[in-house]
Amino acid sequence: MSFWEKLVNAIGNTAGNALSAVVEAIRTVFEGDPETRRKVAFSVAIIALSAKMAKADGIVSEKEVEAFREIFEFPQDQAKNVARLYNLARQDVAGYEAYAERLSTLCITCAANCTVLEDVLDGLFHIAKADGLIHEKELNFLNHIGAIFQMSETRFEQIAARHVSSGGDPYKVLGVSPSDDFPTIRRRYRGLVSEHHPDRLISRGVPKEFHVIANERMAALNAAYAAIEKERRAA
C-alpha cells in the first residue's frame, strides 16, 4: 500500500474540517518511519496550501495543474488519492492560515527561516507563476504564508526574487547588499549552493520529484552571482 493510500484511509470520510484529521494521520500513521513522515508532511503541505492558494486566487489554470504535476510525478493509479487530498483542503472550512500553522508544526527542524518550509514556499511560488504572472492576491497569500512560517522579510524577498519572471534583483536573490565586498558575496553564494544541493534536499525529506524546483533555484543563484560578478568586473 502506498503512503497516499495509507494517508487517505486514515483520514476516512472526513468532510468540512479535514485539517485536524490530516495532521493527526501524518503524526500517527508514519510515527515509526521519520523519513516517510517528512516526505508525506512536505507533500501534503504543498497539496493543501496550493489548493488554498487556488481558492484565494479564484482561478485554477491548466498550467498551474501542470506545474503541480511537475513537482509530484505520482503514479497514475494514485491520482484519485492525491485529488481527494487536494479537494479536502480546498473545501475545508479551515482557512489557509490554520493549514500553514498546523503543517509547519510537522517540520521537526521548524525554526525561523526553516529550510524545509522554504522548500514549501518555493513549490508554491513555482505553481503561482505557472501562468506567467504571480497575481497580487497570490503574492499576498505567499507573503502571509512566509510570515506564518517565521520567514524574515529579507529571506522572503530573497525567495520571491528567485521567481520574478523578468529576473529578480541579483543582490536580493543572494541575500546580500550592494555595499558588501565581493569576497563576502562569493562566500554567501557558495554557502547557498551548498545549502541547496540536491543531497541536502533529500536529507530534509523533500521528494525526488522536487528536482524541478531545485534546478530552478540553482539556476537563479548562479545567474545572480554571474550578474554581480560581471557588474563588479566592469566597475
Q: What DSSP assignment string belongs to 117-136?
A: HHHHHHHHHHHHGGGS---H
What is the tally of structural domains in the chain?
Answer: 1
What is this structure's pTM? 0.79
Least confident of 124-133, 161-170, 179-188: 161-170
* pLDDT score for 120: 86
Q: What angle do CA 84, 143, 137 make, to 5 degrees?
A: 70
Residue 108 has pLDDT above 60, yes or no: no
Cell of 140: 499576498
Average pLDDT over residues 41-63: 80
Query: Could you read off the pLDDT of 77-97 as tens digits, one per residue?
Result: 877 888 888 888 888 878 888
The amino acid occupying position 91 is Q
- Residue 108, classed as helix, strand or coil, is coil
| Residue 79 or 159, more confident | 159
Residue 16 has pLDDT above 80, yes or no: no
In this prediction, residue 38 has a pLDDT band, given cuts at 50, 70 and 90, of confident
* pLDDT score for 216: 83
Residue 174 has pLDDT above 70, yes or no: yes
* pLDDT score for 24: 81
| Residue 208 or 227, more confident | 227
Structural domain including 28 reads 3-234
* pLDDT score for 107: 64
In this prediction, residue 75 has a pLDDT band, given cuts at 50, 70 and 90, of confident
* pLDDT score for 128: 87
